[in-house]
Chain A
Amino acid sequence: MDGVELQILWSNLIGIVSEQARALQRIAFSPIVREAGDLANGLFDERARMVAQAVTGTPGHINSLAAAARNLLGEIDVADLQPGDVLITNDPWMSAGHFFDITVLSPIFRGERLIGYAGSTIHHTDIGGYGIGSGARDIHEEGLWIPVLKLYEAGVPNHTLFEVIKRNTREPKAVLGDLGAQVSSGMIASERLNALCDRYGLDDISALSDEIIARSEAAMRDSIRQLAAGTYRGSTAFDVPGGQTIELKTAVTVDAEAGEITIDFAGSSGPSPSGINVVPAYSHAYATFAVLSTLCPELPNNAGSLAPIRLALPESCIVNARYPSPVNARHVVGMYVPFPILKALAQVVPDRVVAEGSGAVWTVQVQGRDAEGRPFTSSMFNYSGGMGARAGKPGLSAICYPTGVSAVPVEVLEASYPIAFTCKELERGTGGHGRQPGGDGQRIGYRMRTGSPWLLNTIPSRVTTAAEGLAGGGAGAPGRFEINGKAVSDTRKMEMQPDDEVLMVTPGGGGFGA
């Protein structure tokens, strides 16, 4: 395959997944998917290798989805799949690390022959159990566990499963509506992939996929080979709800001959009793993001570009969650995973890394009754702090990094739930000083328009341990979480009074250079 033909077919594949993702986002029901873009879409070959991903979504979802297809298919007899089948699971260890993320995988047939899969993972509004937050004591308290099952069999919906989901979630319409959007997006991908094969006279995509994966892997290895061999260390510390301080330590070993990077998390904090433990696939997702975005941001993400990056996870470690540890709020730790790696890479490619930033986005979910007494459960929404500075540019203020989600507009939330915002502005001066300053955090205030008590599930982090600067840059300001003007440190599922007002000030990013 020459560079012309491959370019044409490859851009077609990326076009198909992007179309799949846009359709999903357009018809999704919950603000978290349609406004925040908390989703991932991928296209897989018949061997379940990811060949293309949509350019939207979050690293956590995308890179977890990359492994999910293989995990799902390991649970079933692939030979039994037939046109119209749709597979589903929310098993944290098989897909994206907590029950809220449901992965749907649709086999794509060309006539009778299986030629690939279209997959999507989205964060659903509710999955029963504890709800958003880290307070459950084991995984079973966290909600409904859907093993690998067929959601559709030969085009016929699995009514038993639909009924189970309906009865076990607080917002069944949003969940079933969003599942419908996932199924639709798989149908669209299947149709488009067949049209591509028609147009270019292909029987399947195996040769194309081999070529894409081989070239991507070679390019990734080449970019690693340009680095100075050695082992580089970095660590990061941050506080989580309840006051615990988590430390992540990495030893990043560059094998410049093989073109491989191994990231060892030895010395990092052990498992947590609260739901912030991270499954290996999700740790891998954010670790590979750190390497890819630093070394070759232009390289399309697929099985090949991910292959040369390996993780070594200690047996008993917060980033190597084991059953039955709770994992609900795994993003709180997962979104800090890139920082120790970036600090290690700063010793090799100082001009390309980003200083420590605010880290995990602060997620919020509210539940209660509106002024007329009607119950509501909001979907999760999130707010970001400042990004760390770059070597040649300041950090961006109030922007999601390392995740790729968006904030839901104030007007959308106020129209969807009985919430009233009192402020949402930059908190200027919270970014660290330096030759390049860190990005600023923001202040967000809200209360509920209700006469009855309500529940707040929120997960602030970095309220005592600031984002460090890099190369002599100053630290960012830590965040603040207050209710009625008083600082609150343990924010796990709080019962609130009707007039209570919440203020969240997200942390600033670290500066770069003295």
Chain B
Amino acid sequence: MTRYSLAIDIGGTFTDAVLLASDGRSFVDKTLTTHENLLDGFFRGVELVLGRAGVGPQAVDDVVVHATTVVTNALIERKGPPAGLILTQGFRDILYIRDEHRYDMYDPQIEFAEPLIPAERTFTLDERTWADGTTAKPVCREAVEAIIRQCRAAGIVSVAVCLLNAYRNGANEEAVRTVFAEQAPEIYVSLSSEIAPQMREYLRASTVAINAYSVPITRPYLTALIAELGRRGFAQQPLIMLSNGGVIGAERAGRMPVRMIESGPAAGALVACYFSRLFGIPDLISFDMGGTTAKACLIQGHEPLVTGSFEVDRRYRFKPGSGMPITVPSIDMIEIGAGGGSIAWVDSLGLLKTGPESAGSDPGPVCYGRGGTRPCVTDADVVLGILDPEQFLGGDMKLDAAGAREALAGLGARLGLSAEKAAWGVFEVVCEQMAAATRTHATDRGIDYRGLPLLAFGGAGPVHACMVAELVDGSTIIYPPLASVLSAFGTLVTPAQIDLVRSLVAPLEGLDWVAVDATLQSMIDESSQALKEAGIREADLRFSFSIDLRYLGQQSELRIDLPGDPREQRESGAIRRLFEQEYEQQYGLKLDDMAIEVVNWRVTGSGGEPQRAAAASGTRAVAAAPAVRPVWIRGEARPVPVYKRGELAAGQRIEGPAIVEERETTIFILEGWTLSLHETGSLVAVRAKESK
């Protein structure tokens, strides 16, 4: 009996749908994202793939997984209903004062986004908790009731509560919620001590404000989704992809939308994990390059790196610091403002730059012929001959090669270079930009990137991956099938997972294991509950533990993954040794006299490995003869063979330089690389040792 699972990934431009059958067949399609009502696109995608498979909704008896950009859209558009914010008396401007820092020291014109919840909807309470967790002043019920009256008058439907030091003890925040639950059950309350129980009031307030702002958007959205799926005859409750790469039930996700923000990109990183397991390669770099940005993620031991904080909606020239910070677990993604639509320009020093300004898809690069006049990365790829102007999107979209060449000639004139040499410059600079970001990101995390294989996908990824690989000293590149809908596919090969973190600041020496035990147990209970809601059986539950440590007096922690459940050994000495090893590896020395402090405990609950996979697409027995076209490489025109991906034969080896075209993307390999078709349907490029 064939089982079916379904995945829908709503991105900024396209909504991708994948239907996967247990016999390995897959059905994929794309449709434009419908921003006015995202669910229209969702169900259009569903109908397309069900139609291709010739089955009805009832056939989908395995999971329905959903990744969505709904929260990000809500934050950028800011059209949601009003939310309120409750802070400690005397500290009402936390969102306005931020950390008092100018993110660009030299630019006097910088700007910040207006706070998501403005001053007129911010309320304060005369209450206080100290940093050691003791309650100095409890919450007064009448004061909360007064706030409730003001909320009602202002039409507030959702409130965020962020009281000082609540990361240490959330009792006062809970007291606020209790009064709301009794007096105003229609107003949804988000607590900072639940959403982001970590030190630093601005980060916590920003995070819980984002959550409260999004709840009134995500809850109706997910409720409508559940209802519509049921109405159409789907038996399964949908699972929602989270930023940390886990999936949870839609109901629970609706209460913590701040955790859904990066769900699409997270799905992309999970695909990389899937291929890392498929190929038996524990460590690799996933490299996804699209129209406006490139995203890279480091996979270590078949798992993506996870970070504790990130930023959304950067308002001023995409600069870090100009957006809103969020501290919840998320896949640790490097996002680089470099895509096919990135504009190339020459700065006042005569240096060639690419991005961060992007021509997007409208007008798009010059070669799109939609009125773009400034040379983009894609224009350079056309001038170089890497992209065939007649075969873009399988020939559905003809590119204006002459226009692209004219734009590059103009750029070249400013550099004293020919159009072709300028185009190669653009190609090199954009690749170096991505490589540099990857190097910094990796070394920042103490990871040696040299020699790591790349997994290349996204429309522009396979075009540039080979050059990027050379620049990060890589020698293997995997080009997976289904590249254009790979993120949606990622949600189906992902185990259900939830990450929890709790601050429990204490010296490592003489740790109070009774308190640790209680904290860990409550985290295990909470994640078990969430996973069971996501349909995981008790027997499949798995937990892993990690701990954030620092030398006493430092403020940034190192995360140490523990080999088992720490409550069994209760061995502080072993934990100290793990920390020292990691510290020395990252910073070149260890500090013997310094005491070590525990900051956070982390529990990751997961629900075993899903057994879904796509089979290889069929290949020909005999290799087809390639066409040949000139491609400009390092300033020289060279005849380069051009293959069709669907016409490659098993076992066929292609020496670089070479091009392999498919409908949505083009693979370009340089000299010194050899490409072959792997049994899984992926193409694999390997660099010969002797070449530079």
A interface with B by C-beta (< 8 Å): 2-4, 6-8, 10-12, 15, 18-19, 22-23, 25-31, 34-35, 37, 55, 57-59, 173-174, 177, 180-181, 183-184, 187-188, 192, 199, 215-216, 218-219, 222-223, 289, 292-294, 296-299, 301, 352-354, 383-384, 390, 392-393, 396-401, 404-407, 409-412, 414-415, 420-426, 442, 445, 449
Contacts and interface: CB of A to CB of B under 8 A. Distances in A.
A401 B349 contact: no
Contact of B130 (A180, A181, A383, A414): A414
B594 A173 contact: yes
A411 B347 CA distance: 43
Contacts of B591: 177, 180
For the complex of A and B, 4 pairs with smallest distance between CB atoms: A423-B90, A4-B425, A406-B101, A407-B100
Nearest to A125: B553
B92 interface: yes
B534 to A, nearest CB: 33
A180 B589 contact: yes
Given A292-B106, A298-B347, A411 B432 contact: no
Contacts of B101: 37, 399-400, 404-407
Contact of B443 (A37, A192, A299, A410): A192
A421 B440 CA distance: 38
Given A57-B105, A173-B594, A400-B100, A22 B444 contact: yes
Interface in B62-115: 90-93, 96-97, 99-102, 104-112
B551 interface: yes
Given A19-B444, A299-B348, A424 B91 contact: yes
Contacts of B90: 421-425, 445
B588 interface: yes
Given A397-B97, A414-B130, 15 more contacts: A3-B351, A7-B429, A22-B444, A23-B444, A59-B105, A215-B350, A219-B349, A297-B109, A352-B108, A393-B111, A409-B201, A411-B165, A412-B199, A414-B165, A422-B90
Nearest to B431: A8
Interface string B360-393: 0000000000000000000000000000000000
A31 B555 contact: yes
A37 B321 CA distance: 14
Contacts of A35: 99, 555
A442 B94 CA distance: 11
A388 B439 CA distance: 39
Contacts of B443: 19, 188, 192
Interface of B: 90-93, 96-97, 99-102, 104-112, 130-131, 164-165, 167, 199-202, 346-353, 415-417, 425, 428-429, 432-433, 436, 439-440, 443-444, 471, 473, 505, 551, 553-556, 586-589, 591, 593-594
A3 B199 contact: no
B589 A3 contact: no
A186 B440 CA distance: 16
Contacts of A294: 108
A7 to B, nearest CB: 4
B346 to A, nearest CB: 7
B100 A174 contact: no
B131 A414 contact: yes
A289 B102 CA distance: 14
**Residue in B102, B105, B164, B350 with the greatest tally of chain A CB atoms within 10 Å:** B105
7 contacts: A19-B443, A383-B100, A400-B102, A409-B201, A414-B130, A415-B199, A426-B93
A192 B112 CA distance: 34
Contacts of A192: 443
B584 to A, nearest CB: 10
A294 to B, nearest CB: 7
Contacts of A298: 106-107, 347-348
B416 A2 contact: yes
Contact of B349 (A199, A215, A449): A215
A400 to B, nearest CB: 5
Given A29-B553, A174-B553, A180-B591, A426 B111 contact: no
Contacts, number: 204
A399 B99 CA distance: 8
B165 A409 contact: no
B97 A442 contact: yes
Contacts of B439: 15
A173 B106 contact: no
Given A7-B353, A11-B433, A18-B440, A23 B587 contact: yes
Contacts of A299: 348-349
Given A177-B554, A426-B96, A19 B348 contact: no
A219 B346 CA distance: 13
Contacts of A399: 100-102
Nearest to B591: A180
Contacts of B436: 11-12, 15
Given A415-B199, A420-B130, A199 B553 contact: no
Contact of A3 (B96, B97, B352, B473): B352
Given A184-B589, A425-B90, A6 B351 contact: yes
A193 B90 CA distance: 48
Nearest to B427: A4
Contacts of A398: 93, 96-97, 100
A425 B443 CA distance: 39
Contacts of B93: 398, 424-426, 442
A260 B250 CA distance: 64
Contacts of A352: 108
Contacts of A59: 105
B308 to A, nearest CB: 13
Contacts of A293: 105-108
B202 A409 contact: yes
A264 B655 CA distance: 66
A390 B108 contact: yes
B348 A296 contact: yes
A29 B550 CA distance: 10
A393 B110 CA distance: 9
Contacts of B415: 2-4
**Residue in A199, A354, A411 with the greatest tally of chain B CB atoms within 10 Å:** A411
B100 A406 contact: yes
A426 B97 contact: yes
B200 A30 contact: no
A183 B589 contact: yes
Contacts of B167: 411
Given A188-B588, A297-B106, A301-B106, A3 B555 contact: no
Contacts of A23: 444, 586-587
A252 B350 CA distance: 29
Contacts of B91: 410, 421, 423-425
B108 A411 contact: no
Contacts of B346: 3
A177 B553 contact: yes
B452 to A, nearest CB: 15
A359 to B, nearest CB: 14
Contacts of A34: 554-556
Given A177-B553, A219-B348, A424-B91, A8 B428 contact: yes
B130 A177 contact: no
Contacts of B417: 2, 4
Contacts of B351: 3, 6-7, 10, 215
A55 B108 contact: no
B306 to A, nearest CB: 17
A410 B164 contact: yes
Contacts of B201: 409-411
Given A3-B415, A31-B555, A298-B347, A404 B102 contact: yes
Nearest to B470: A199
Nearest to A23: B587
B440 A396 contact: no
A222 B587 CA distance: 42
Given A2-B415, A301-B106, A409-B202, A15 B440 contact: yes
Contact of B554 (A22, A27, A401): A27
